[in-house]
Amino acid sequence: MKKLAIPLALVALVAVLAGPVHAGGKTRTTSSTSDIWIASVDGMLVARTAQPAPAFGDKVNFGTAVQPLAGWQYPLVAIYCYQDVDGNGLETVPASADLVYAQLDKPDTTFVMGGGSSEWLESGGGDATCDAVLYAYPGFHKGDIVTLDDTGFWNAAG
């Protein structure tokens, strides 16, 4: 049980911070010049116009172009992957029971699909529906989390 406490706390934190993005809460979406795309999978560069579908266990890097931000804001990337774990249809919002993997980190991070500890990893994989979102975070300043762009959903083979 202790083994799952940290991953569950991380998922809860990501859901609290990012939940409004998908649930129509306080987070704002801007129409901007910011962009996020899958730049490499397992070290192999991907054309910006390609539509790769990284799979469970793949190492993924994202390319980002970030609009000028306020001095206290900084960009972060979040990956969300979902499986219909409760059998009532796939719900692709961070606060849903179907969220099996979430990771929030700096744009230059190499993300491992499934991470080091997630429900997706614990269940041994399986196909999932994933999305990566580029945010502007306000840090310790008062302000909204701003959604700058997202990759769009892809089917990740498990």
Q: Where are the alpha helices (DSSP H) in 54-122?
A: 119-122
Q: Tell me: pLDDT of 86 over 80.
A: yes
Give the pLDDT score at 98: 95
> Which one has a higher pLDDT value, 156 or 14?
156
Query: pLDDT band at 14, cuts 50/70/90?
Result: very low
The pLDDT tens digits of the residues spanning 19-65 come to: 434 433 334 444 558 999 999 999 999 988 888 999 999 999 999 99
Residue corresponding to tokens 């892809």: 154
Residue 139 has phi, psi (to 5 degrees) of 65, -135
Q: In the chain, what are the domain boundaries?
A: 2-156
> Which one has a higher pLDDT value, 3 or 100?
100
Is residue 121 within 8 A of residue 35, CB to CB? The reply is no
| Mean pLDDT (the chain, rounded) | 83
Give the pLDDT score at 112: 97
**Arithmetic mean of pLDDT, 106-118:** 95
